[in-house]
Amino acid sequence: MSTALRIGTFEFHSRLFVGTGKYTSYEVMQQALAAARCQVVTVAVRRERLYDSQNRSLLDFLDLKRYTILPNTAGCFTAEDAIRHARLARELLEGLNNPGSKWVKLEVLADKKTLLPDPVATLQATRELVRDGFTVLVYTNDDPVLCRQLKEAGAASVMPAGAPIGSGLGILNPNNIRIALEYLKENDPDYPVIVDAGVGTASDVTVAMELGADGVLLNTGVASARDPVRMATAMYHAIEAGRLAWGAGRIPKRAYATASSTFDGMINSSQ
Amino acid sequence: MKIMLNGEERTLNGEWSLTRLMEELQLPPQRVAVEVNRQLVTRACFGQTLLHEGDQVEIVTLVGGG
């Protein structure tokens, strides 16, 4: 059981990736990221507000020496748009001297209601971004066959969703995640698999890690909690608990009891 | 000339490079990335990239996201 998480040339001791969206203030975000003890934070690429440049920027509140920035292609509904966003993000992060310029969280979505990925466009965009030299971490459905195809297309990490983005439903199909992990790690046990999206609370994170995921990426579960900083602390412990439990090897489930206290040496029954 | 800047029409007079546009908008170049007509223009090329009538310019930065 390795202690470091390796994705391409990246290496981290924290296995929790945290998003920077939806916090009530940048100050709360900063405190939540610190409480989560994460090393990787995700960001999005959007138009600069040209008429309101006095507004505070996210970049003033992220310690770029401390965090590796993982840019996403959130909001993209075509492979072409996702590739454009990835290249813009690379240019931005190169300008900021952040190691995150080398990678991207690829999202190609199918529709706004479900925010579920478009599998065909996701596969196509993965191939193109890998060809363009990106370390691609790809957000995908929890379909094990698609996960395998994305790995074969060159994705450095496959990131199946636990549930729809921001839904807080947790790991809806643990069996699919289990099979995806089996497929992706066959003859390649260190291949990194990160459960991305759908986490509502700490136990969801633990379930993902107990299944054998290498990490969890989340945002809304922390940012929209009543107390984001406290929830971020819980998520940190949930990652640790799940990883430890996975490494420890759980007992098999069984239908009937097995006594913890031996029946040997009992005094005479009164019956 | 008229260009589309982040989806809005803007009229510019004279010769405009991306460097001049950044200065006009008071944007630090290392905090933005720019596309002209859907093609990325790297920071190093801002000075030599001149804008033309009808150009579609996108200037982006990093914001909160998951």
pLDDT score at A3? 85
pLDDT score at A2? 56
Residue A53 predicted with pLDDT over 90: no
Q: What is the mean pLDDT of residues A97-104?
A: 98
Q: What is the mean pLDDT of residues A13-37?
A: 97
Question: Is the distance from CB of B66 to CB of A218 less than 8 angstroms?
Answer: yes
- Please indicate if any CB of chain B lies within 8 Å of the CB of A24: no
pLDDT score at A52? 57
Q: Is residue A267 part of a domain?
A: no
CB pairs under 8 A between A and B: 106
pLDDT tens digit string along B22-52?
Answer: 999 999 999 999 999 999 999 999 999 999 9
Q: Is residue A271 part of a domain?
A: no
Q: Is residue A253 part of a domain?
A: no
Residues of A with Cβ-Cβ distance to B33 under 8 angstroms = 45, 88-89, 91-92, 95
Number of domains, chain A: 1
Percent of the residues in chain A that have a pLDDT greater than 70, as a whole number: 98
Nearest residue to A127 (alpha-carbon basis) of A102, A153, A151: A153
Contact flag B60-A48 (C-beta cutoff 8 Å): yes
pLDDT score at A55? 73
Q: Is residue A107 part of a domain?
A: yes
pLDDT tens digit string along A197-248?
Answer: 999 999 999 999 999 999 999 999 999 999 999 999 999 999 999 999 999 9
Q: Is residue A102 part of a domain?
A: yes
Q: Is residue A205 part of a domain?
A: yes
Q: Read off the pLDDT band of B21 (50, 70, 90).
A: very high
- Please indicate if any CB of chain B lies within 8 Å of the CB of A44: yes
Q: Is residue B66 part of a domain?
A: no
Q: What is the mean pLDDT of residues A176-186?
A: 98
Q: What is the mean pLDDT of residues A66-87?
A: 98
User: A117 pairs with which residues across the strands?
Assistant: A109
* Enclosing domain of residue B27: 2-60
The answer for B 13-32 residues in CB contact with A (under 8 A) is 25-27, 29-32
Cβ of B30: how many Cβ atoms within 10 Å?
13
Q: Which residues of A229-261 are buried (b: 16+ CB within 10 A; e: fewer)?
A: bebbbbbbebbbbbbeebeeeeeeeeeeeeeee
Residue A14 predicted with pLDDT over 60: yes
Q: Which tokens hold the place of A106?
A: 């690829």
Q: Tell me, what CATH number does B15's domain have?
A: 3.10.20.30
- Please indicate if any CB of chain B lies within 8 Å of the CB of A89: yes
Residue A175 predicted with pLDDT over 90: yes
**Rounded CA separation A72/B66 (Å):** 7
pLDDT score at A248? 97
Q: Is residue A260 part of a domain?
A: no
pLDDT score at A182? 98
Contact flag A84-B38 (C-beta cutoff 8 Å): yes
Cβ of B44: how many Cβ atoms within 10 Å?
8
Question: Is the distance from CB of B30 to CB of B48 less than 8 angstroms?
Answer: no
Q: What is the mean pLDDT of residues A100-116?
A: 96
Q: Is residue A258 part of a domain?
A: no
Question: Is the distance from CB of A158 to CB of A179 less than 8 angstroms?
Answer: no
Q: Is residue B10 part of a domain?
A: yes
Q: What is the mean pLDDT of residues A8-20?
A: 98
pLDDT score at A112? 95
Nearest residue to A102 (alpha-carbon basis) of A72, A139, A135, A73: A135
Q: What is the 3-state composition of chain B as percent helix, strand, coil, each rounded to the nearest 5?
A: 20, 40, 40
Residues of A designated as active site? 105
* Enclosing domain of residue A164: 5-248
pLDDT score at A271? 75
pLDDT score at A56? 85
Q: Is residue B52 part of a domain?
A: yes
Q: Tell me, what CATH number does A88's domain have?
A: 3.20.20.70
- Please indicate if any CB of chain B lies within 8 Å of the CB of A157: no
Mean per-residue pLDDT of chain A: 96
